[in-house]
Amino acid sequence: AAGVIQSPRHLIKEKRETATLKCYPIPRHDTVYWYQQGPGQDPQFLISFYEKMQSDKGSIPDRFSAQQFSDYHSELNMSSLELGDSALYFCASSLEGDREDTDTQYFGPGTRLTVL
């Protein structure tokens, strides 16, 4: 079965640079979530989109922005990168509806961002 695709898988940036992470949800999924997982930490929710509109917002820094496009893929844009932004960034997708597994989030493999 098709899974969530994230690109790139690894990214190395310098401080104060910008980065763009991409996420392609499971086909027919209409909701995308972004999470940040620091070393040895649990994933922390950043932001989510449903049908191209922001649906919820977590601990996303103002330096970060995200959007969901008409084909449901999403991009997380990160500017003025700091050392503390080094983490694994996960995208997850889900399908709204009345099924038993409604809202069940399926995660991509993650993008490992290293800021030097």
Partner 1 sequence: GEDVEQSLFLSVREGDSSVINCTYTDSSSTYLYWYKQEPGAGLQLLTYIFSNMDMKQDQRLTVLLNKKDKHLSLRIADTQTGDSAIYFCAAISGYSTLTFGKGTMLLVSP
Residue 88 CB, nearest distance to partner 1 (Å)? Answer: 8
Q: Is the peptide bond before 8 cis (omega within 30 degrees of 0)?
A: yes
Q: Decide: residue 57, CB within 10 A, 0-12 exposed, 13-18 middle, 19+ buried.
A: exposed
Q: Identify the bridge partners of residue 88 per DSSP, sorted by sequence position.
A: 37, 112
Pick the piece of the chain touching partner 1 (CB under 8 A) from 20-28, 60-68, 73-81, 106-114: 106-114
Site for partner 1 in 71-90 (CB under 8 A): 90
Query: Does residue 32 contact residue 100 with C-beta atoms inside 8 Å?
Result: no
Pick from 57, 66, 50, 37: which is nearest to 103 by CA? 50
Residues 6+ apart with CB under 8 A from 105: 33, 92, 93, 94
Site for partner 1 in 1-20 (CB under 8 A): none
Residue 61 as a binder of partner 1 (CB under 8 A): the answer is no
Site for partner 1 in 22-51 (CB under 8 A): 31, 33, 35, 41-45, 48
Among 17, 51, 56, 82, binds partner 1 (CB under 8 A): 56
Residue 68 as a binder of partner 1 (CB under 8 A): the answer is no
By CB under 8 A, name the binding residues for partner 1: 31, 33, 35, 41-45, 48, 55-56, 58, 90, 92, 94, 100-101, 103-110, 112
